[in-house]
Amino acid sequence: MTSKSTQDSTMAPIVARGIRKHFPGNVRPTLDGVDLTVEAGRVCALLGGNGAGKTTMIRILTTLTRPDEGRARVAGHDVLREATRVRASIGLVGQYAALDELLSARENLELFGRLSGLTRRGARDRADQLLETSGLADVGRRPVGAFSGGMRRRLDLATSLITTPGVLFIDEPTTGLDPGARHDLWDSVRALVDAGTTVLLTTQYLEEADALADDVVILREGAVIAQGTPEDLKRLVGEPQMVLREPTLEDVYFHLHATESGAPAA
């Protein structure tokens, strides 16, 4: 007999069991029996260094790579038997922006809208909405080739929301962004979760996982070595500690921005 907790977990938007993937030529499997459950309306961070298996896990859950073993369901659909339904139910923001640099931000969004099946009018209306919510309305007609890294990342995130997916995958969301752009993107992700989106993201940054995630899964060499809420994982270290440190350049950055804006500096 299946327990209620087991039944509830299988109904979560993202459920994976025993995922294995071994690429030819590698000594170790990239993923070695990974289990993962992400509950609705939460942010789960896959945390680990290069080669830990984070991107491969995302690719399997988004139907881009087949696992050697294991099973997974996303948005209620089997990633192998119902791949088309999975793709229609999710959004994906990869490590590199999938944008046409010769087109404007608005034209990119309209193009993605048309490719997603929206009418011409529907694509225009959706582009207007996403430009506004992503803070890009003022530069909507500017070619993407002139955008900063942070602006491109926000536009890339907006393209993944054309069809308002219930489940969003984000691979290394802030790699290469300056501190201000990184915090802006965090705010965008929080707004999506507040609106009901379930998010699975990968990151190498402890600060990012702590700031964004409701749940953290730590991968090392393709295996889960720890998981829980950020607070749970911090308690593994022991009692609260006070650490004195020198200011970092990021501290200086935000101090200067607060001073310039007239806000009280920390």
Helix (H), strand (E), coil (C) string for 35-56:
EEEECCCCEEEEECCCCCCHHH
Average pLDDT over residues 129-143: 92
pLDDT of residue 169: 96
Distance, in Å, from the CA atom of 9 to the CA atom of 247, rounded to the nearest integer, reads 43
Task: Summarize pLDDT for 233-251 with one digit per residue, the tens.
Answer: 888 776 666 777 777 766 6
Confidence of residue 5 (pLDDT cuts 50, 70, 90): very low
Dihedral through CA 219, CA 42, CA 133, CA 119, nearest 10?
90
Would you list the domain boundaries of the chain?
Answer: 4-261
Task: Summarize pLDDT for 153-169 with one digit per residue, the tens.
Answer: 889 989 988 988 999 99
Strands 69-74 and 77-78: antiparallel
Assess contact for 151 and 136: CB atoms under 8 A: yes
- How would you class 141 by CB atoms within 10 Å of its CB: exposed for 0-12, middle for 13-18, buried for 19 or more? exposed
**Of 151, 216, 156, residue with least CA distance to 184:** 151
Q: Is 242 helix (H, G, I), strand (E, B) or coil?
A: coil
Distance, in Å, from the CA atom of 189 to the CA atom of 213, rounded to the nearest integer, reads 10
pLDDT of residue 256: 66
Is the pLDDT at 223 greater than 90, yes or no?
Answer: yes
pLDDT of residue 179: 84
Share of the chain above pLDDT 90, in %: 60
Task: Summarize pLDDT for 76-135 with one digit per residue, the tens.
Answer: 999 999 999 999 999 999 887 789 999 999 999 999 999 989 999 999 999 999 999 888
pLDDT of residue 59: 97
Is the pLDDT at 259 greater than 70, yes or no?
Answer: no
Distance, in Å, from the CA atom of 17 to the CA atom of 247, rounded to the nearest integer, reads 43
The identity of residue 189, as a single letter, is V
The identity of residue 62, as a single letter, is T
Mean pLDDT, the chain, integer: 87
Q: Is 115 helix (H, G, I), strand (E, B) or coil?
A: helix
Average pLDDT over residues 24-34: 94
pLDDT of residue 260: 60
Topology classification of domain 4-261: Rossmann fold (3.40.50)
pLDDT of residue 2: 37
